[in-house]
Structure 1
Amino acid sequence: MNMRPSRRRPGRPVGASDSQPSAAPATPPTPPRGRRPAPERGAERGGRAEVAPRGTCWLYGTHAVVAALSNPRRRLRQLLVTGEAQATLEARVEGGLPIQPQRVDRARIDAICGRDAVHQGVALLADLLEVPALEDIVERPGPVLLLDQVTDPRNIGAILRSAAAFGAAAVIVQDRNAPEETGALAKAASGALEVVPLVRVVNLSRTIDALKSHGMWTVGLDAGGGILDGASFRQRRVALVLGAEGAGLRRLTREHCDEIAGLAMSGDMESLNVSNAAAVALYEMSRPRGE
């Protein structure tokens, strides 16, 4: 895939477009370390839905729920299943379900997730995951992804899925300009939210500098630089920075990166959706030298 930087305006990212590829606990849970309390909320689509208590979210869809049930770091609150979905769920969770399911009809789950949500007959109320410290992230193997004001939860979910597939250490987002951990995000991640930490930071530029201080080489994925050559980074630990939908990398973010590089693309297409760009960049980073 060949990007021609000369045809693109500086600041326009490779992933510039944003195409869209029950009873609460008696005592509200304490939000995880490093995370501000989320406002009560329900589903993102499909009309008015029930809200989850602060510090929790409703996860839905077979892949997302199975991954959460299999994650010992998740504190589980309530599991709702339809009759058809229960057997499938029990067969998918190794060692049996860690929480007693409650049998409900599909309308009950529709009311929680929203009528348009593809919940597949399962919904799980769980605490938000605890966010690891940056010092813990740099100890994990693999590249780190930083998202500069990427706002679509489905894009972030898809990026998490690619990050899990290619062994990324974490995905970092700016706290005030990124969506909360929600069912829509977890559904798009297809279980990857339980595998790859989603880290929220206050200041992205300072975080880039902090990663540099830990020996990481930061590459802004954007036009105006060279072409991303993953094999050239074999001796370096890399952090990839991807820009927001439409706006691209902000000036200050670009200035804090060690270098700017775009994807090699052929044809007339000048940009990719940010989640697709992340997947291609991660594949390029994993490509063996000389391939």
Structure 2
Amino acid sequence: MKQKRTRRGPGAPGGLEAVFGVHAVRALLERGITPTELWVQEGEAGARLADLVEAARAGGARVQARPRDELDRLARGAAHQGIVAFAAPLAFEAESALWFRLEAWPHDAPPLLLVLDGVTDVHNFGACLRSADAAGVHGVIVAKDKAAPLNATVRKVACGAAESVPVYQVTNLARALAKLKALGVWITGTAGEAEALVFEADFSGPTALVMGAEGKGMRRLTREACDQLVKLPMAGSVSSLNVSVATGICLFEAVRQRGPASPGAVSRKP
């Protein structure tokens, strides 16, 4: 099911979504996703971005030189770095695909899943996806409601992770967590009032790490569905961390426990 998109900037080809920035565009090409069209800033940017331009052109993309002010208007404040690619919009993976994959688990290592409850900020969402990709997470789970869309800003912030990590959209998060438990996945939620530290949790088996929205944290039903709650030790004056920072710390504790052979994220490509 596709998430409703935000309105595209002026000049964007119909039916396509803009992907801004060098890292995000390079990630598209490295994953075999050829944009339909590529806009490159006129002037010195063309020479600086020659490798990306040639790779996109070789894949069949139409390349156009455009003035900087046009790219600025399209990016609406995003750091486009002189390059914008237009590709098909991303879509969430269906909930049925999650259960199919888990019931016929194809990997030797146990699943490592990231669950985001109420994370609606696209910058935080993109940063969480980037951490998930780096940590070898097999899939990210979000609810149909109160969740950020998979839009151009997420793709920009994620630097390619939005294309590589499967993002499953479930209708009811509490029910989905209950089904994960029935499949043998241990649910670990994060909460500031928890007694145990994240470093005391066991992430070596099938694991789903649940991160709540900043400020509000996990919703009540989500919290009740967790097998255990953990927290990060906070030694300073601030009481909490940005959700994407906390996600990275918790995920890499799981990586540490699982050892250097932890598998990479499952590609979205068929």
Could you say which TM-score interval applies, normalised by the shorter chain?
A: 0.7 to 0.9
Structure 2 residue identity aligned to 1:41: R
Match of 2:135 in 1: 166
- What is the CA–CA distance in structure 1 between the aligned matches of 2:235 and 2:258, rounded to whole Å? 21
1:218–1:259 contact (8 Å) kept in structure 2: yes
Secondary structure class of the residue paired with 1:233: coil
For the pair 1:100 / 2:100, whether they are aligned, the reply is no
- What is the CA–CA distance in structure 2 between the aligned matches of 1:89 and 1:200, rounded to whole Å? 35
Match of 1:125 in 2: 86
Match of 2:37 in 1: 78
Secondary structure class of the residue paired with 2:79: coil
Match of 1:229 in 2: 199
Task: String of CA shifts for 1:158-216, please: whole Å, max 9, x gaps.
Answer: 11111111111122222221222222211111221122122222211122122223221
Match of 2:25 in 1: 65
Match of 1:219 in 2: 188
1:171–1:197 contact (8 Å) kept in structure 2: yes
2:129–2:161 contact (8 Å) kept in structure 1: yes
- What is the CA–CA distance in structure 2 between the aligned matches of 1:93 and 1:79, rounded to whole Å? 8
Aligned pair count? 247
TM-fit CA distance, 1:266: 2.6
Structure 1 residue identity aligned to 2:222: T
For the pair 1:113 / 2:57, whether they are aligned, the reply is no
Q: 1:283 aligns with which of 247, 252, 255?
A: 252
- What is the CA–CA distance in structure 1 between the aligned matches of 2:168 and 2:125, rounded to whole Å? 12
Which structure carries more relative contact order (alpha carbon 8 Å, separation 6+)? Answer: 1
Q: 1:201 aligns with which of 135, 150, 170?
A: 170
- What is the CA–CA distance in structure 2 between the aligned matches of 1:181 and 1:214, rounded to whole Å? 27
Q: Report the TM-score, using the length of structure 1 for normalisation.
A: 0.75
TM-fit CA distance, 1:238: 0.7
Secondary structure class of the residue paired with 1:242: strand
Secondary structure class of the residue paired with 1:229: helix
Over the matched positions of the two proteins, sequence identity in percent amounts to: 38
Q: Report the TM-score, using the length of structure 2 for normalisation.
A: 0.81
* Higher normalized helix content (fraction of residues): 2
TM-fit CA distance, 1:51: 6.0
- What is the CA–CA distance in structure 2 between the aligned matches of 1:130 and 1:106, rounded to whole Å? 30
Secondary structure class of the residue paired with 1:220: strand
Match of 2:126 in 1: 157
2:203–2:258 contact (8 Å) kept in structure 1: no
Secondary structure class of the residue paired with 1:260: strand
Match of 2:157 in 1: 188
- What is the CA–CA distance in structure 2 between the aligned matches of 1:100 and 1:53, rounded to whole Å? 15
Q: 2:145 aligns with which of 168, 176, 192?
A: 176
Q: 1:267 aligns with which of 233, 236, 251?
A: 236
Q: 2:99 aligns with which of 131, 135, 156?
A: 135
Structure 2 residue identity aligned to 1:118: A
1:80–1:123 contact (8 Å) kept in structure 2: yes
| CA separation of 1:231 and 1:176: change in aligned 2, threshold 3 A | closer
Q: Which runs of no fewer than 5 residues in structure 1 stay unpaired? A: 1-33, 44-48
